[in-house]
Amino acid sequence: MIETLGDITAMAHLGNYYAEKIRGASQLALFDKTAKPSQRESAVKHLLLAADHWKRYAAAYGVQYRQPLLYNRVGWVDLPAFAAKAEQDVSIARLWVPGTVPDEPPSRPADRPFRK
């Protein structure tokens, strides 16, 4: 039962990480279009919360499993080490310049419909 509760705690932090990361990305996208500093501040706030949840997820996971235990198609996964990537998201948001994302993506020939 304790292991199950530990897994639930870890998954809750993982879910909260993604929720805050999506909120931060949304606010950063709005900042990119509007250049309102309050939206960048909101993005940074959400991304800081996301980084905190990632650290809590890695800690909860580490209580029950050896690190690195996860293995996927790219090799061994070290969850605590990925906290640096979450913190990098915060740095990116702090340095973001409005207008970085173009209004329209570049068109590719494959995106055009067939001609008659």
> Where exactly are the structural domains of the chain?
2-95
The pLDDT tens digits of the residues spanning 67-101 come to 766 667 777 778 888 899 999 999 999 999 999 98
Q: Which residue has the tokens 């990305």?
A: 25
Q: Which residues, 6 or more positions from 17, have their beta carbon under 8 angstroms from its beta carbon?
A: 50, 53, 54, 57, 86
Q: How much is the pTM? A: 0.82
Share the mean pLDDT of the chain: 89
Q: What is the pLDDT of residues 99-115, one digit of tens each?
A: 998 887 777 777 667 66
Q: What is the pLDDT of residues 22-36, one digit of tens each?
A: 999 999 999 999 999
Query: What is the CB-side half-sphere exposure of residue 52 using CA atoms within 13 A?
Result: 7
Cis peptide before 109 (omega within 30 of 0): no
- Pairing of the two strands 70-72 and 75-77: antiparallel
